[in-house]
Amino acid sequence: MRDIRVFLEAPLASALASARKLALPAPAAQHLLKVLRLRSGAAITIFDGKGGEYRARLELAGRGEAWVELAEHLAIERESPLRITLLQGLARGERMDWVMQKATELGVQRIAPVSTARSVVQLDAYRGDSRSAHWRAVAAAACEQCGRNTLPIIDPLLRLAAALQAVAHPTLRLVLNAESAVTLGAAVGSPMAVALPGTGEGAANRPIALLVGPEGGLDDDELALAKHSGFQGVRLGPRILRTETAGIAALAALQCLAGDLA
């Protein structure tokens, strides 16, 4: 039987320690009752995105309202061995949503939307905040589907220069560039065997920053800025991929090299 998972942005630990019962938000209740047609007493899984999950039982309260009664907390994680930050050039609505969804499913730890010169969509601060909230909801829904209990961090929309400066040290820095002579595999090597220089840390746990341009790619000045910030240009083979495909393909390749998708 399919595990029904529900993300609740609520203090689940304190609820478990006290009354053990939580009212479901209207959208979640409607989905469980009207779409999935669950009945009172149905077993579901609740998570708050902060790690682990809770077994719970659904209780109906009438008028389309529902509660959940929390049971034990299970320290279950399904995270990638790689700590990947995806710096994604801002793309059109559905394409950006698709990237957020699939990157979450592939275990990325952080997603940093980046506004670039060739971004077809340009957002002001207000719309940027609105889209960030929307993208977080997309990531939460993806976690419900794929079994992750820790939500990826969705950074506020930044210009490229600011996003590059925010990348932590030390980090393996890669930028997708179809004209690069270096392949992704050659740049990374075997992540399970190679240590990050200067840390002694196994590369399977190394932080990686992956920069992907928008529709039309990064321009020459942006590629030069990325190189100045320590990013190495890499290509993904003989074909030029769309922005919503390129980052996801690179993430899948990195996870394969790390053994996450083996």
pLDDT in tens, the chain (262 residues): 578 999 988 778 766 666 678 888 888 898 898 888 888 889 999 999 988 999 999 998 777 788 888 888 899 999 999 999 999 999 888 999 999 999 999 999 999 999 999 887 776 654 667 888 999 999 999 999 999 999 999 999 999 999 999 998 888 999 999 999 999 988 887 554 444 444 445 555 679 999 999 999 999 999 999 999 999 999 998 999 999 999 999 999 999 888 888 7
Kindly state whether residues 109 and 155 are assigned to the same domain.
Answer: yes
Q: Is 157 found in the same domain as 110?
A: yes
Judge if 164 and 48 occupy the same domain: no
Give the domain extent around 58.
5-74
Give yes or no: residues 64 and 88 share one domain: no
First to last CA, the chain: 25
Do 89 and 68 lie in a common domain? Answer: no
18 and 107 assigned to the same domain = no
Same-domain check for residues 69 and 87: no
Structural domain count, the chain: 2
Q: Domain check: are 42 and 96 in the same one?
A: no
Same domain, 163 and 56: no
- Residue 92 vs residues 16, 175, 236: alpha-carbon distances, Å: 41, 20, 22
pTM of the model: 0.88
Among the candidates 31, 47, 74, a domain finishes at 74
User: Do 65 and 113 share a domain, yes or no?
Assistant: no
Residues 70 and 117 in one domain: no
CA–CA distance, 2 with 44 (Å, rounded to integer): 10
Neighbours of 126 (CB within 10 A): 8
Cα 137 to Cα 33: distance, rounded to the nearest angstrom: 20
Residues 127 and 244 in one domain: yes
Q: Are strands 110-115 and 83-89 parallel, antiparallel or unpaired?
A: parallel
CATH number at residue 35: 2.40.240.20
Residue 162: helix, strand or coil by DSSP? helix
- Residue 205's φ and ψ, nearest 5 degrees, are -110, 10
Domain endpoint, select from 39, 74, 109: 74
CATH number at residue 94: 3.40.1280.10
Domain boundary among 50, 74, 98: 74
Q: 93-105 and 243-258 are packed helices; what angle lies between their axes, rounded to 10 degrees?
A: 10
